[in-house]
Amino acid sequence: MAMVLAVTSALCSLPIDSIGDLGCSIRYVDKQQGYFLGIEKNNVIIGTARDAVKNPAHDVSQVDGPIENCSSRAFKCRTIGGYLVFVIPTGAGHSAEYTEGPRISVQRVANGGWHGSAMCSMVTSTGCSPNVDVNKLVEAYQYDVNPAGVVTSVKIQNWNDAGKLLSTYNLVLVSESGLKLN
């Protein structure tokens, strides 16, 4: 059993040379751009696979860290470093606003799942600031959660200080299991 755990953790560690190397039990991938989010237990790795970098002069950004439970009485919640926060309301309402980090608007969808839209205009050492200036976004993301409470897709958009859109990533769940919020 120890050997199996060692192999599993080695498959879910940095660096990731290609998307095919991503062996985490939970995987979200933008196959067109080689961007990934991999989760094993309460750890996450996120970034661009080395072979997907088009210009060798560009840095390959890959980071890892913990996933934390940020749930409260009002929300079921998981956060990745305070930058990506996924929430769904615990009540029976059809919409909710989350303001403890990035400002997130969550709406119930026809299939009983949820769609969240988050905005971040200032990054601090603890993640996105709850104060949002829509004219100065640094990151925005949207996510979908199925009726079972599993995140099924994430769309991330990043801007520079001049308000120019730098990148858009469309991550979809490619593993059998996903990040469960409840």
Residues 47-103 pLDDT 10s:
999 998 877 666 668 999 999 999 999 999 999 988 899 999 998 889 999 988 899
How much is the average pLDDT of 171-180? 97
> Is the distance from CB of 138 to CB of 117 less than 8 angstroms?
no
H or E element at residue 147: none
Can you tell me the distance from the alpha carbon of 80 to that of 120, in angstroms, rounded to the nearest whole number?
A: 14
Residues 5-19 pLDDT 10s:
333 345 799 999 999
Which three-class secondary structure state does DSSP give residue 151? Answer: strand
